[in-house]
Homo-oligomer: A and B are copies of this chain.
Amino acid sequence: MQAYEVFRDLAIILIAAKMMGLVARKCRMPQVVGQILAGLIIGPSVLGWVQQSDFLAALAEIGVVLLMFSAGLETDLKELIRTGPVAFLIACCGVLVPLVGGALLYMAFYGFAPWGDEEFYKALFIGTIMTATSVSITVQCLKEMGKLKGKVGTTIVSAAIIDDVIGIVVLTFVIGLKNPESDAGAVVVSTLLFFLVAFVGGYLFYQLFRWLDRRNPHTRRLSIAGLAFCLGMAYIAEKYFGIADITGAYVAGIVLCSVKDSSYIAQKMDTGSYLFFGPVFFAGIGLKTSFDNVNATLIWFSIGFVLVALICKVIGCGLISRVCRFNWNDSLKIGVGMMTRGEVALIVSQKGLSVGLLSAEYFTPVILLILISSVVTPILLKILYAKDSPLQGASPAVPKG
């Protein structure tokens, strides 16, 4: 492929995503929904103008990493430490309930299977796909509403990060149950090690950035170094610790969130995000969707899969939030905010395919879950937040798009 061929795809994605984003906002929905639908419309499912390619996938990956870095940068560290233990509890329940729910759903469709049976692992794997929350859509949505920094926002983001890690541990554990080669203990150790390294290395980098910041505040080198740090952490997390790159990028953001110029860096990242990488990522979700080889059982299973995945997350996270003294409305917000699934669910499915715990047709329900949760969550969140302050209009904290 010639390099210039990508310009066409990018131009179509940018225009379609922005137009549908504006339409979505007119309908009082978050712009992200419009961007995902734009991808669906221009993608193979409807018009077929743009095909998913390795290049677009890599750009989308940069997009989601930038998004998580921004989320980290905008974190109120004191608030995170305060919400940490609660977030951990919420994440645990948010993993456990869908894991059990998914396994029961599979057994309801294909018959009960005892522990140790091949079918039992398959059932457990369906649950595993449901565990990992993808917080990017929720983050974008809270950002648009200016609610990312609040107590609920911080709790959701922290819980989603922790839940990612637990989700990966569960994945390795389930695969390890069937295949004695991979070692669940080693995964736990490497995860702990990553956070240890991130803590120590992060402190050094924090001092480095504070020094840079004092010498040259508001300079380009600051935002370039920040971006490089974010990309480096994303890479190290995946490559050496087997942890999602977005977790690495989020941690990089947390490390820099107390630097005095953190909002300056965040602002530069945001320009890159909304102008280019964001639309490519969100439209990319729609782009990946295809509705080929679908049959009746699969449709019923898919409906069940989506419902169980959404409801289990709301129940698991919502109830434990209520137990942790959030009021009912805030508990519901947390449950709904954790509902979204994204690329991690796809990565887990891919893994299941390669180890023989999942067959290819189950990709359809997973993609449906990603799509539906991405569309439904922002709408519900908006409704729930509107209940708090009926006078407040759309996106007060963000300049007009």
Contacts and interface: CB of A to CB of B under 8 A. Distances in A.
Contacts of A62: 6-7, 10
Copies of this protein in the assembly total 2
B10 A219 contact: no
Contacts of A232: 7-8, 11
Contacts of A10: 62, 228, 231
A88 B5 CA distance: 30
Given A7-B231, A245-B4, A223 B275 contact: yes
A26 interface: no
Interface residues of A, number: 47
Contacts of A245: 3-4, 7
A55 interface: yes
Interface string A111-138: 0000000000000000000000000000
Nearest to A401: B220
Residue among A4, A5, A55, A279 with max Cβ neighbours from chain B (10 Å): A4
A221 interface: yes
Given A3-B57, A58-B55, A235-B7, A18 B221 contact: yes
- Give me the 7 closest cross-chain CB pairs, A-B, nearest first: A3-B61, A7-B235, A11-B231, A11-B232, A14-B228, A7-B231, A4-B238
19 contacts: A2-B238, A3-B57, A3-B58, A3-B245, A4-B234, A7-B235, A7-B245, A8-B231, A11-B228, A11-B232, A14-B228, A15-B228, A18-B221, A55-B55, A55-B58, A220-B274, A220-B400, A268-B275, A271-B271
Interface of A: 2-8, 10-11, 14-15, 18, 22, 54-55, 57-58, 61-62, 65, 216, 219-221, 223-225, 227-229, 231-232, 234-235, 238-239, 245, 268, 271-272, 274-276, 279, 399-401
